[in-house]
Structure 1
Amino acid sequence: MSIDRTTALVRALRREFDGRVVAPGDSGYDEARAVVYGGTADRRPTAILRPANAEQVARVIAVARETGLPLAVRGGGHSNAGHGVCDGLVLDLSAMKGIDIDVEGRTAWAETGLTCGEYLAAVGAHGLVTGFGDTASVGIGGITLGGGVGYLVRKHGLTVDDLLAAEIVTADGAILHTDADHHPDLFWAIRGGGGNFGVATRLRFRLHELDRVYGGLLILPATPEAIVSFVTEAQAAPEELSTIANIMPAPPMPFVPEEHHGRPVIMAMMCHAGPAEEGPRVMDRFRAIAPPLADLLGEMPYAGMYPPEDELHPISDFTNMFIDRVDHDTATTIVHYLNTSTATLPAAQLRVLGGAMARIPADATAFPHRQSRIMVNLAAIYEDPAESPLHRAWVAEFAAAVRQDDQGAYVNFLADEGDERVRVAYPGGAYERLAAIKAVYDPGNVFRVNQNIPPATS
């Protein structure tokens, strides 16, 4: 688009959206186009628009269709692939933060400009919760549409397992209510298929009673034996316990003994959402693996599982996969690769799955990995963009070394890795089913700035 046409478009958008437009040269433009964990993504949108309601969302979509400009949808701004921004139009939902809580009915309608932390604070005031991920600043829309794996995954399942209905604005500007009885094909697709089918403007969630949990941070030395034991205990633990084990060099934290700084540790986030008296007994199994380097476990409000976040977001190369087991050879390989990395912070994250998540049939939603046992995230975090090829190669080699029979991947944790990686996120016919639904609701692939599933052709 020429400079003159771009200038005219921005002027027209400013008039139409009453100041809800950020463009190049505006104060706050760089902040508004930043993405979290987006690697080296440095995209310069023509305009960033902040609609106030679903009707304005439909208008933004129409502008994208009329101009042919790419359209990115931004909730909380988290994206390993940098999909929250593009060199076109950015539909920023951050102004849409309404929430309507039915305390007696145990449901909530929430607009998708809310972050997980904002939603949890609102429902937590009533002793209620919906399971999201492990980071408060993530937008509720993006994590939900991709599945949602977090601190309650074994107790209550994925976020999509608590999704009861949604308001979706489709590529033709229609504002649809979708649930099990209305547009059931679309409702199936948005529960794991990502942002391929429209813009989710409101989501209706089931709420669970949960006031306090027993959990927090436990740090253990990361020997191969300790890693195997940790995973074994996590698999054998009651479903009330979900864990996220980050295996990484110990940062110079004041509560970690100095002689362990820079040495591999298991930094485990633990969340026991069962009876209060059972939490300490469950955690004692993990404390017995090795003398803890730090033990910050205790009873807390559920919101305490989401500590304040670092505002710095360095560059990272990242990949995601599932594995079936962590035996001594796998654990030894993990420690070896962490010790050979030259990144500022190399890490391997292990999430033991199962429980409520695994009891849902694989074809009930567009998240087909119900029987996957362990999710793995591998990352190299560094500061110099010139080092990217080196660290990307390390991540790829690491992934190849630990890969097992489960060839799947979780779409929410994919980076910009190509079409084949998107396909492995939807095995067992899920990809083909999603492509057919895409052809119905977005035949022109307007929503393509994502982990894209192109519409099926006849």
Structure 2
Amino acid sequence: MSILTWSPTDLRTALDGTAPLVVPDDDGYEDARRVEPGGIEHRPAAIVRPTDTAGVVRALRFAREAGAEVAVRSGGHSVFGLGTRDGVLGLDLRGLDSLDLDVSGRTATAGGGVTAGAYTRAAGAHGLATPFGDTGGVGIGGITLGGGVGLLSRARGMTIDNLLGAEIVTADGEVLQVDDEEHPDLFWAVRGGGGNFGVATRLRFALGEISDVVGGTLLAPATPASVAGIVAAADAAPRELTVILMVMTAPPMPMIPAEWHGRLVLMANLCWSGTTSGADAALAPLRDVVTAAGGALVDGVRTGPYAGLFEGGPPSGTAVATGRTFFADGLDESAAAHLLAELESCDAMMRAAQLRVLGGAVADVAPEATAYAHRGARLLGNVAAVAPTASAAAGYTPWVEALADRLRGGREGVYANFALDGGPDTARAAYPGTTWDRLAAVKRAYDPDNVFRGNVNVLPA
């Protein structure tokens, strides 16, 4: 907002002590506005940091009455910074960090600011898990509302397939408990429709039993045959195996042989959640591909607790990324060769393509059952380039768009959680056909004034 039409002082009065408020003159403002990874320099006019639902309610009622634009940060990182913008009233949910585990009932209720890593470690102590992504630093609110694709997706479905219910605060400050029976239209929409409909202050998930998994990282030379071969082997594998593949230039890390620094490699992050006795047979086709490429440069595959795979977050620092997400039906050697040639020729300080093999339990759910409509896609990809500044990163946007278009192979669609922006073209691609129509109707019912527009935005019908 170029001209602020509301006063942070009035906001403080409206909160009446129900939630801490940070404004630009406060000592803690710089820390409060910072998101990971670095380089995102948005400056909200005020940041509310509620510790319970009441604080969220008061903040939203003020925003509606004052005409304040709202941006919601759901606890964790934001690669492209959609959870904050200049001049907005920011809602930072990191204080909503309660986690209640019903071990015997196999359910968990978590605050909207809990991170996936904290949740996974706590549940893992009881031999239980809910599928989230692959990074501990992501907030469960954001990843859940957008879908949730990660290391257990092929075996146990997306995060939204394990969501049993949620507490949603709507734009007018009403608190709703939603599930299959209460407000089922809204429950359908928040399973993939993003933050378009309200603030998720609590989420209730199913917990599944999980013993030790076989997982970790395989690093190998990247060739057209090895990249396409890993994708094909992962696609053909039993559903208990999920593979997330990164194709990139090798960073100068001590674990990587020095002679490979700066050269093209593939990094397969994998998780086998079946019986440990079946792991060798399941992983054999992937290891065969790696052997044919010259052997593993790093072999970090180990047997251990699932929570051990769920560490860390995005890299720190001030670099800025630009990227494009896409779906595809596979990746052949021709497409892999094109990918490697483009990565070799690009001069960005870091450039990479991530390829997540889908299928399995993801595809078991009907496309119309949730607001995530891309159940039939075999591959979810993301092309990214990293530069020192936002302006420099923007210069690589045509490159990432062209490469993503080549790799998608004619399949339409984008994944909302990896979207660079929330504009109309992105939103239509994320929510195609009747999914868009249905979401627009729910938006009209629960947020007719489009208060929640700092997202992959669905306009009210």
Question: For residues 401 and 111 of structure 1, do their structure 2 counterparts lie closer, same or farther at Cα, with a shift above 3 Å needed?
Answer: same
Q: 1:184 to 1:281 in 2, by over 3 A?
A: same
Cα distance, 1:375 vs structure 2:
0.6
Q: Which amino acid aligns with 2:445?
A: V
Alignment match, 1:183: 183
Residue 88 of structure 1, CA deviation: 1.6
1:438 counterpart (419, 430, 443) = 443
What is the match of residue 101 of structure 1?
A: 101
Choose 412-421 or 153-162, whichever is displaced more.
Answer: 412-421
1:105-116 matches, cutoff 5 A: 105-116=105-116
Deviations 1:379-434 (A, max 9, x none): 00121334233211211221232231310111010012621111111123101110
Residue in 1 aligned with 2:63?
64
TM-score (norm 2): 0.95
d(CA) in 2 for partners of 1:384 and 1:195? 28
Matches within 5 A, 1:406-445: 406-416=411-421, 418-445=423-450
Distance 2:394 2:420 in 1: 15
Question: 2:83 corresponds to which residue?
Answer: 84
Match of 2:286 in 1: 286
For residues 197-251 of structure 1, give each alpha carbon's deviation from its aligned partner in whole angstroms, at most 9, with x where no partner exists.
1111111100010131101010011000111111111011110000110000011
Deviations 1:345-367 (A, max 9, x none): 10011111000110101100001
What whole-Å deviation, never above 9, does each CA across 1:112-171 have from its counterpart, x for those lacking one? 110111111111111100000011111110000010000000000100000011111111
SS in 1 for 2:374: coil
Aligned position for 1:401: 406
The Cα shift of 1:313 comes to 5.4
Corresponding position of 2:207: 207
The farther-off stretch of 222-231 and 49-58 is 49-58
- Count of residue correspondences: 454
**1:335 alignment partner in structure 2:** 340
Higher mean alpha-carbon deviation, 446-455 vs 384-393, is at 384-393
Equivalent of 1:296, from 290, 294, 300? 300
Structure 2 distance, partners of 1:321, 1:37, is: 22
Counterparts of 1:22 and 1:225, CA distance in 2: 53
Specify whether residues 151 and 17 from structure 1 end up closer, same or farther in structure 2 by C-alpha distance, changes over 3 A only: same
Structure 2 contact 18–55 (Cα < 8 Å) conserved: no
Answer with 167-176 or 187-196: which moved more: 167-176
Distance in 1 of aligned mates of 2:402 and 2:373: 26
The answer to whether the Cα contact below 8 Å between 1:36 and 1:313 also exists between their aligned partners in 2 is: no
Q: Distance in 2 between matches of 1:447 and 1:347?
A: 32
Q: Do the aligned partners of 1:142 and 1:194 also contact (CA within 8 Å) in 2?
A: yes
Question: Which sections of structure 2, spanning at least 5 residues, go unmatched?
Answer: none
Aligned-residue offset at 1:69: 1.2
For residue 11 of structure 1, report the CA deviation from its aligned partner: 4.7
1:223 aligned residue: 223
Aligned twin of 1:306: 310
- TM-score normalised according to structure 1 size: 0.95
Aligned with 2:195: secondary structure? coil
Asked if structure 1 preserves the Cα contact closer than 8 Å seen for 2:19 and 2:50, the reply is: no
Return the letter of the residue paired with 2:310: Y
How many angstroms does 1:35 deviate by?
2.5
Distance in 2 between residues matched to 1:293 and 1:402, nearest whole Å = 26
Report the equivalent of 1:168: 168
The 1:238/1:5 distance shift into structure 2, 3 A limit, reads: closer
Q: Distance in 1 between matches of 2:257 and 2:188?
A: 49
SS in 1 for 2:94: coil
Q: Does 1:379 align with 2:354?
A: no
Identity between Structure 1 and Structure 2 (%): 46
Task: Report if aligned partners of 2:249, 2:261 keep a CA contact under 8 Å in 1.
Answer: yes
The range that moved more, 157-166 or 90-99, is 90-99
Distance 1:163 1:136, change over 3 A: same
